[in-house]
């Protein structure tokens, strides 16, 4: 079988299919031979595991997943890559390629239809233009998955793996911690891709668990997180007052009930603080 990390092999396959890279679709294919085996090894633990891959490209990571997993379903938006994948991975009978936009797919249905009875994990070298929406969809849809092992931009990895209450924390940091424990696995230099992006990358793994705090209303909880970070340089009093369109005295009362200093900044707040603010806001609207 062809080596999908060998630059001349990849160029040859792509030129035979008349394929040119699309920047808009975030097409940077992995050519560093050590990265995909490492990712697949971390993602797939046990041979009865089903893997949902997002954006297989020409199948370099897919191949490593297929070697280790019971089944791989790979969702690829660019239909020009379908004949390429038939050529590179046609020998595997545990692969299904779905030509769709992952953000538009009913992933619950896909998982039920394709992976009955298997433990399911997600593994992907994500198209960077949709990193946050994809991760939030995977989490908010409350899919029956064990873990998410993904390559993201280095800066995104820092945000996704930050501890709430620290300087690198942002709205997505807090949302991610609500659903899972994030772990930074390893760094990947930009030269590991063809074409090379401008930024370095990192592989992270999110281990899903039951939410660690129980806000009375999840929608309010996420509204408060987004609102508090909307103007992250402002105090939580000012930021929440403008994002929730509430007057300052009302927000002062809410923060007091939640035991949060009105001069605090969002990046300093913990998950518990956000849950307490959200509950105080709900109690006030009753
Ligand atoms: N997995 C391959 C690799 O590691 O070399 C390719 C990764 S490349 C960074 C991202 C892939 O995601 C591309 O194949 C691109 O066409 C695909 N893609 C982009 N947007 C997508 C979407 N909304 N849904 C599914 N796939 C998408």
State the DSSP string of 157-177.
Answer: HHHHHPPTTSTT--HHHHHHH
Q: What integer pLDDT is reported at residue 286 of this predicted model?
A: 67
- Closest approach atom of ligand 1 to CA 57: 14
Q: What is the pTM of this model?
A: 0.94
* Residues near ligand 1 (Cβ within 6 A): 25-30, 54-57, 60-61, 75-78, 81, 101-103, 125, 127, 130
Please report the atom of ligand 1 found closest to the CA of residue 193.
5
How far is CA 47 from its chain centroid?
A: 24
Q: Output the residue whose Cα is nearest ligand 1's atom 6.
A: 57
Angle at 153 between CA 207 and CA 210, to 5 degrees: 15
Q: How many angstroms does the Cα of residue 119 sit away from the middle of ligand 1?
A: 23
DSSP class per residue in 230-277 = HTTTS-HHHHHHHHTT--HHHHHHHHHHHT--TT--GGG--HHHHHHH
Burial annotation 128-144 (CB, 10 A radius, 16+ → b, else e): bebbbebbbbbbeeebe
User: 143 CB contacts (<8 Å, ≥6 apart)?
Assistant: 107, 108, 111, 120
Residue of the CA atom closest to atom 8 of ligand 1: 27
Question: Average pLDDT per run of 10 along the chain, which is 286 residues long?
Answer: 87 96 97 97 93 98 97 98 97 98 98 96 97 96 96 97 93 95 98 96 97 93 96 93 95 97 95 97 84
Ligand 1 test: best mutation among 57, 81, 97, 103, most atoms within 8 Å of CB? 57
Contact in structure between 204 and 160 (CB atoms under 8 Å): yes
From 77, 103, 135, mutation site for ligand 1 pocket: most ligand atoms within 8 A of C-beta: 77
The per-residue pLDDT for 46 is: 84
Q: Whose CA is nearest to atom 12 of ligand 1?
A: 55
In angstroms, rounded to a whole number, what is the distance separating the alpha carbons of residues 286 and 249? 17
What residue has token string 């893997």? 51
Query: Which pLDDT value is given to residue 233?
Result: 87
Residue with CA at minimum distance from ligand 1 atom 16: 78
Distance CA 220, CA 195 (A): 42
Which pLDDT does position 1 carry in this prediction? Answer: 58
From ligand 1's centre to the CA of 180, what distance in Å?
24
């Amino acid at each position: 079988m062809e080596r999908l990390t060998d630059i001349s092999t990849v160029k040859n396959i792509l030129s035979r299919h008349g394929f040119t890279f699309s920047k808009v679709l975030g097409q940077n294919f992995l050519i560093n031979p050590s990265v995909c085996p490492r990712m697949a090894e971390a993602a797939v633990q046990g041979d009865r595991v089903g893997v949902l891959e997002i954006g297989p490209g020409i199948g370099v990571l897919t191949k490593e997943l297929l070697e280790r997993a019971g089944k791989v379903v790979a969702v690829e938006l660019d239909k020009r890559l379908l004949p390429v994948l038939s050529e590179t991975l046609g020998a595997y009978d545990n692969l299904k390629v779905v030509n769709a936009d992952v953000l538009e797919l009913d992933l619950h249905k896909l998982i039920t239809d394709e992976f009955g009875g298997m433990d399911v994990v997600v593994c992907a070298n994500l198209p960077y233009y949709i990193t946050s929406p994809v991760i939030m969809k995977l989490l908010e849809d409350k899919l029956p998955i064990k873990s998410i092992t993904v390559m993201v931009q280095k800066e995104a990895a820092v945000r996704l793996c930050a501890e709430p209450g620290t300087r690198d924390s942002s709205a997505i940091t807090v949302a991610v911690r609500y659903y899972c424990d994030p772990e930074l696995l390893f760094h990947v230099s930009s030269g590991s891709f063809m074409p090379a992006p401008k930024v370095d990358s990192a592989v992270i793994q999110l281990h899903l668990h039951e939410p660690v705090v129980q806000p009375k209303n999840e929608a309010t909880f996420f509204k408060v997180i987004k609102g508090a970070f909307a103007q992250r340089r402002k105090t939580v009093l000012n930021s929440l007052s403008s994002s929730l369109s509430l007057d300052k005295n009302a927000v002062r009362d809410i923060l007091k009930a939640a035991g949060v200093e009105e001069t605090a900044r969002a990046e300093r707040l913990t998950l518990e603080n956000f849950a307490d603010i959200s509950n105080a806001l709900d109690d006030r609207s009753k």
